[in-house]
């Protein structure tokens, strides 16, 4: 009702990326908030999911958009090296574990590469939302085309109803399965992974004491 996806593919892709960017930024905000409350200031300031990562990610988005619109020279991308330098320092100041300098340098280099490639992959992963929208339109177009064809056959109205009902049910089942799996993936890897840490109180299920005799 808002717009035709097939005739506004760039708008659909832009909306998908905008939703993805908003989720990623909110996940980083939660990570910074949680880490600061725990007193992990070094890790929060220099982590790839902390302040340095947030500055790099938001700066890369705005710089990329301005560069794409010819409002910034290519050399402006060099300023993104500042937050990446903070990410590089994370193995040195973001942990209390003592390690050799060479190992810390290697870890810092890997973290910088993971930051750049990871944020790029995380952002463009949300294009699959637009792809599902286009697939939905394409499948429904096929159903309507088939319904128009069978409408010319004997008992055409009955065949049209059957094609529409069956086609929509198949699409609902197929897309329900695919979209549920993919949205869980997007939420877990692109959103929860930014702030969730498998630490804290271990889960111990409630159990009866084996030494207690059962009453008759």
Question: pLDDT tens, 11-46?
Answer: 989 999 999 999 999 999 999 998 888 888 888 888
Task: Please write the tens of the pLDDT for every residue from 82-111.
Answer: 899 988 988 887 676 777 888 888 888 999
Q: Are the C-beta atoms of residues 162 and 168 closer than 8 Å to each other?
A: no
In the predicted structure, residue 72 carries a pLDDT above the cut 80: no
Task: Please write the tens of the pLDDT for every residue from 180-202.
Answer: 888 888 888 888 888 887 777 77
d(C-alpha 49, C-alpha 40), whole Å: 13
Comparison of pLDDT for 75 and 158, the residue scoring more: 158
In the predicted structure, residue 165 carries a pLDDT above the cut 90: yes
pLDDT for 216: 46
């Amino acid at each position: 009702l808002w717009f035709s996806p097939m005739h506004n593919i760039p708008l659909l892709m832009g909306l998908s990326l905008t939703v993805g960017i908003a989720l990623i930024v909110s996940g980083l905000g939660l990570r910074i908030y949680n880490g600061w409350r725990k007193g992990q200031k070094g890790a929060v300031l220099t982590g790839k999911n902390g302040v340095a990562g947030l500055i790099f990610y938001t700066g890369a988005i705005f710089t990329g958009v301005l560069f794409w619109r010819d409002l910034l020279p290519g050399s402006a991308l060099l300023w993104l090296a500042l937050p990446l330098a903070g990410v590089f320092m994370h193995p040195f100041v973001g942990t209390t574990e003592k390690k050799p300098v060479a190992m810390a340098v290697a870890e810092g280099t890997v973290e910088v590469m993971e930051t750049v490639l990871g944020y790029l992959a995380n952002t463009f992963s949300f294009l699959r939302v637009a792809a599902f929208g286009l697939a939905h339109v394409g499948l429904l177009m096929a159903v309507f085309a088939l319904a128009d064809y069978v409408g010319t056959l004997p008992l055409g109205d009955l065949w049209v109803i059957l094609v529409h009902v069956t086609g929509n049910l198949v699409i609902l089942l197929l897309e329900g399965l695919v979209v549920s799996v993919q949205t869980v993936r997007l939420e877990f890897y692109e959103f929860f992974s930014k702030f969730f840490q498998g630490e804290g109180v271990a889960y111990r299920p409630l159990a009866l004491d084996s030494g207690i005799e059962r009453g008759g």
